[in-house]
Amino acid sequence: MKRAHLLVLFGVVAVIQLAVPASMIVGRERTLRTGELFKFKTAPVDPFDAFRGRFVAVRVEQSTAPRGAETNLAVGTKVCAAVGVDTNGFAVLTGVTVKPPADGAYIRAPVVWSSDTNVTVALPLDRFYMNEKLAPQAEAAYREHAVASGPRDAWLAVRVRSGQAVIEDLYLGDRRILEVLTAKP
């Protein structure tokens, strides 16, 4: 009898261990398929540490939003950063609340700094995963683009749904990073 209980317990634990990562994957995939699309401008990243493994290290240009009426926003507090679109079609953070807004897109993120008027959050948009074999070429293309003269126009296509944000693609100008790599000789 004791053995039967152990087998049942083992089975339950095994199912839970498979269900947790599966639900995380399903959530990200659902966001990619049905989430609202936003374009986030990127800022330059330390070019000597742009790649770690199979992802491109990116940094979103704007991560500060107006504080609003929230009073207790200590560092580490999870907040909902409302996302809007500026006149150029790029995403902007329009406000921060503790609870999800009644309407509109938002991203859940922890507070990293707060003043009387603004709140800076750590957006979960710092890694763009890609094929490991293309990493050196992508690193070179991203560096060239980051140091080129003129306005920096690298940006991320990000899907946002129910507080979750997932990077769909990285663009250099109006071209996807993979298109840039395939066009290079």
Q: Write the pLDDT tens digit of every residue in 44-75.
A: 665 444 555 577 778 898 999 998 777 778 99
3-class state of residue 69 by DSSP:
coil
Classify residue 121 by burial, with Cβ atoms within 10 Å: 0-12, 13-18, 19+: buried
Distance CA 113, CA 104 (A): 24
Inform me whether the pLDDT recorded for 173 exceeds 80.
Answer: yes
Q: Write the pLDDT tens digit of every residue in 89-118.
A: 999 999 999 999 999 999 999 999 999 899
Burial 28-67 (b: 16+ CB within 10 A, else e): beebeeebeebebbbebbeeeebbeeebbbbbbbebbbeb
Q: What's the pLDDT score for residue 48? A: 46
Please give the model's pTM, rounded to 2 decimal places: 0.79
Per cent of the chain over pLDDT 70 is: 90
Q: CA end-to-end span of the chain, whole Å? A: 68
DSSP assignment letter at 51: B
The pLDDT mean for the chain works out to 85
